[in-house]
Structure 1
Amino acid sequence: MALDWPRLPSDVLVPGALHFYDAATAFRVGATDRQMRNALKQQLMGIKIMLRRKRLQPEVLLALAQSLSQLEGLRALEVDISFSSVGEDGAYQLAQAVGILRRLQSLELLLGGAGLGRTGCEKLAKELASLRSLTRLKLDLSLNDIGDTGLRELSKSIRAAFLLRVLVLDLNRNRIADAGVGCLAQVVRELPGLSELQVSLFDNRVGEDGARQLAAAVRGLRRLSRLALGLNRNAVSEVGVQDIAHAVGSHSLRALELDLSVSSVGWAGAHDLGMAISSLQDLQSLTIDLNVNHVGSAGARLLAQAISALQGLVSLRLLASGNRIREVGARELAQALAGLRQLANLELDVSGNGIGDPGACELARAMGGLHGLGRLVADLRGNLVGDHGERELARAVGELPRLERLELRLGGNCRSSGAGPLHHELKNAVQKLQTGGCICDFSY
């Protein structure tokens, strides 16, 4: 049955609230206050509540919690109160209400920047432990300072949801270290039905040991088809990256995202990542974020060879700024891209790599041959790209008949002709695309 997602006042089920609806409204719904309330309680299957960045007074949050607690028939619930400063008490009230909904199968609770703290996270976890029918759970607790203790208690509550098939956790900027990640990894290993796992730990304190424990947990999941791990801006060493690569290579994934920017990835890490990626022959969507590492031209060659083996890719996001791949690496990437004829979405960030005009030309020619592209994002800033490179880019975008969105970033390059901020051939190509309905976004 398709879920209905109505938009209701947050206090619609508070005792006495329905008396404020006028007679015309009552006539339109064809029900008395009591009938309407009972219908909502028993028949409503799914609901979304979007209160992001709202100033929620305590009485409003209490009314919301009371209303939710009465929707006993709910199977799916999405609540977004991120950056609403609900605090520890508000989060607890909401968690108590959600914990009563024992029939919930899908829960999306976004509490980023809501001021939970460690204690608030512990209270939240205690209530979530009662939801044993969940098959899909998404929690955003970013920017709440939950620490290792908060993540440990949260992990315990997730263990109770042994029917989970989809688990999405956003835990960015929470001062989480290896101890907390170890608790989470242990629980993930005990959820054998997981087919999709997404864990984002941007800007925490995860090191080599935490990465190793996560890798061990991933390796133990036998039904995994979608995986996303965000470990950018942590203390993960190259050895930790290699552990993750080995775990990834043990699966038959359809979608993979690895965010490893600022992670000391060099040639050895690129080698193991390449070996893992090349083995994923069923992969349709790939995101690799290696911004600001030490991959170099040799590492770029290994990654390019791995990507070229994925002939079924539909979406590719390769972010490799600040890796010194030079012209040689750009040429290898271009050769890999040229063979990916199924691509509909391509995002390529090779900014700050010194690829020069020759490298930009190679990449442009490769992109111009991908006639199925509907979206193209190319970041070539800070690469000494001149007029020749711009001319090839103009030809490339002009050869993409299905292009619906183009984002091209060329700032910080040199141009020999002095013909102004945008070469006339590139400008004409963009205008033609815009006339045809393509959305174009340039920065120069």
Structure 2
Amino acid sequence: MSLNSIKQNLDNDDESETLELFGDLYQRPASIRDLSLNYQNNGLDDETLITQVLEKLENFSSLESFSLQLQQNKIKEQGLHSIGEELQKMHNLKELEVNLKNNNIGNSGLDSLLKKIKSKNLDYLELILQNCGLKDEGLPEVFDRFTYKNHSIKNFRLSLHNNYLSDQTIDSITQHICRMTNINQFMYCVGKNNISKESGRYIMKSLQNLNKLKDLELYFYNNSIQNTGLINVLKCIANFPYLQELTIHFQKAQISEGAIIPVQHIKPDFPLHTIDFNFYKNDINDDTIISITKHISQFKQLQRLSLSLFNNKIGDQGFEQISSLLSELPHLFYLQIYIGQNEVTGMGLEQFADNITSIKSLQNFNLWTVPSEIQQISFCYLINKISKHPQIRSLTLEIGLEDKEISDLLIQSVLTLQNIYELNIDLFNFCEESLAYQIIKKLPLLVLAYELDYED
């Protein structure tokens, strides 16, 4: 056990171990700088939180990093007030994580916690407030009071998922957050609330006040973002001049055909190098995904791209154009693409393979698909094309096998991967254990790392 870093996970029957742990730590609290406690699903209420945890923390004022995982308990306002009292004593605190997922804390409970967080040294803050019983009325004022006095924070991660908050509430909270102008990394999860297509535009407009922003993560899933919201969000990306990493998730966001992103002139040296877009389970067709990909291809410094298109309506033309447009990116070395449950045929997959493998800079390729939906021979054609690529050294294939006939073809194709140094194969929807052993047995010696998973 390190003298300056402690991490402890505690199960329901761990009370004696907890007391022993704190008894040991209590002898030298001033030496501890990093403390992480996990009380997930321990049945804690306000009283037990105070007696079993917080009273033992009273002498840990020298902490610089503190993580408290309290998800799925029964914590309310009194407990959060007591947490805040202890946090107020930690004058050297630089990093703080508090996970309150599935605790019905309400606005008053959150306010009791936030009004105590005001360390001048606080650099990193993560607040997970998923399904916490937050309400529209009065919530913006809670964040108003908090953001007014916390301008040192540079990395802020906030989840408001599943609180059924309105457009107006989310927009007001965003405006208050943007007072903290030192933020250069921001994660904002507003999934499963009552936000609409206009909210995306308002959020992006407010976030432009964070003029130091380099890393942005936005999660809009399970909302009525629709085509208008998608367009409003994507066309604002170029308004963040220092942005380097971007993650936006639009799962189940009611996006359909006809979402055409306006053509923008983006400077070739725009610094964005990493994009992660997730469009799981929408009604995106060829025209929409081509427009989205055209927009992506404008960012010429892009090096890493993750694109989840699972469960849409994209056909051969869409996948051909996606791969063709991506081949125009001169620095792209990492590509992860999920293409399962679309309308692509074997011919479309072969054209996709030809274009993807023409990306000379590509070194790491991750593909998710279900070969039974397309011509199996075309899937193997893709693997064979990859095997001839001079630069690809890392390959991940997540393959939903539903037919044993593909096993021999798959083995033969994998054996052509003589240049691959790292190979990960995930065989889901497949129950023949022998296939995994056959691949392991026949893999070339050049493969330094591999993983084969299968599910019964």
Instruction: Sort the TM-score into its range (normalised by shorter chain).
Output: 0.7 to 0.9
- 8 Å Cα contact 2:200/2:233 also seen in 1: yes
- Alignment of 1:266 onto 2:254: no
Once the two structures are overlaid, the 10-residue window that deviates more, 104-113 or 151-160, is: 151-160
CA change 1:97–1:239 in 2 (3 A) is same
Cα offset for 1:240? 0.7
Cα offset for 1:303? 3.7
Cα offset for 1:292? 3.4
Cα offset for 1:389? 6.0
CA change 1:114–1:409 in 2 (3 A) is same
- 8 Å Cα contact 1:261/1:293 also seen in 2: no
Letter in 2 for 1:109: V
- 8 Å Cα contact 1:274/1:306 also seen in 2: yes
- Alignment of 1:137 onto 2:137: no
Once the two structures are overlaid, the 10-residue window that deviates more, 306-315 or 182-191, is: 306-315
- 8 Å Cα contact 2:395/2:420 also seen in 1: no
Structure 2 counterpart SS, 1:148: coil
1:196, 1:369 → 2: CA distance? Answer: 39
Which of the residues 438, 451, 455 maps onto 1:428? 438
Which of the residues 321, 334, 337 maps onto 1:318? 337
1:123, 1:350 → 2: CA distance? Answer: 48
Structure 2 counterpart of 1:122: 111
Cα offset for 1:74? 2.4
Which of the residues 20, 23, 36 maps onto 1:48? 36
- Give TM-score, length-normalised by structure 2: 0.74
- Alignment of 1:174 onto 2:194: no
Structure 2 counterpart SS, 1:360: helix
- Is there any run of 5+ residues in structure 1 with no aligned partner, and where? 11-16, 412-419
CA change 1:7–1:218 in 2 (3 A) is closer
- 8 Å Cα contact 1:351/1:383 also seen in 2: no
1:233, 1:385 → 2: CA distance? Answer: 38
- The alignment-based identity, stated in percent, is 16
- 8 Å Cα contact 2:297/2:326 also seen in 1: yes
2:437, 2:300 → 1: CA distance? Answer: 39
- 8 Å Cα contact 1:225/1:254 also seen in 2: yes
2:88, 2:321 → 1: CA distance? Answer: 49
Letter in 1 for 2:451: I
- 8 Å Cα contact 2:9/2:38 also seen in 1: no
Structure 2 counterpart SS, 1:164: coil
Cα offset for 1:236? 0.8
Count of aligned pairs? 411
RMSD: 4.0
Once the two structures are overlaid, the 10-residue window that deviates more, 144-153 or 155-164, is: 144-153
2:330, 2:455 → 1: CA distance? Answer: 31
Cα offset for 1:121? 2.5
CA change 1:50–1:422 in 2 (3 A) is closer
- 8 Å Cα contact 2:66/2:97 also seen in 1: yes
Once the two structures are overlaid, the 10-residue window that deviates more, 333-342 or 202-211, is: 333-342
Cα offset for 1:50? 2.0
CA change 1:5–1:85 in 2 (3 A) is same
Once the two structures are overlaid, the 10-residue window that deviates more, 111-120 or 228-237, is: 111-120
Once the two structures are overlaid, the 10-residue window that deviates more, 275-284 or 253-262, is: 275-284
- Alignment of 1:440 onto 2:452: yes
- Alignment of 1:237 onto 2:226: yes
CA change 1:256–1:338 in 2 (3 A) is farther
Cα offset for 1:178? 1.4
Once the two structures are overlaid, the 10-residue window that deviates more, 336-345 or 199-208, is: 336-345
Cα offset for 1:110? 1.4
- 8 Å Cα contact 2:107/2:142 also seen in 1: no
Which of the residues 82, 85, 90 maps onto 1:101? 90
Structure 2 counterpart SS, 1:261: coil
Letter in 1 for 2:410: E
1:163-312 alignment runs, 5 A limit: 163-251=152-240, 253-263=243-253, 264-266=255-257, 268=260, 269-312=288-331
CA change 1:253–1:361 in 2 (3 A) is farther
Q: Which has the higher helix share?
A: 1
- 8 Å Cα contact 2:221/2:250 also seen in 1: yes
Structure 1 counterpart of 2:285: none
- 8 Å Cα contact 1:262/1:291 also seen in 2: no
- 8 Å Cα contact 1:88/1:115 also seen in 2: no
- 8 Å Cα contact 2:324/2:356 also seen in 1: no
- 8 Å Cα contact 1:107/1:136 also seen in 2: yes
- Alignment of 1:408 onto 2:427: yes
1:16-165 alignment runs, 5 A limit: 36=27, 40-41=29-30, 43-56=31-44, 58-63=46-51, 64-128=53-117, 130-149=118-137, 152-153=140-141, 155-156=143-144, 157-165=146-154
Letter in 2 for 1:428: Q
Letter in 2 for 1:254: Q
Structure 2 counterpart of 1:330: 349
- Is there any run of 5+ residues in structure 2 with no aligned partner, and where? 11-18, 261-287
CA change 1:138–1:322 in 2 (3 A) is same
2:69, 2:317 → 1: CA distance? Answer: 44
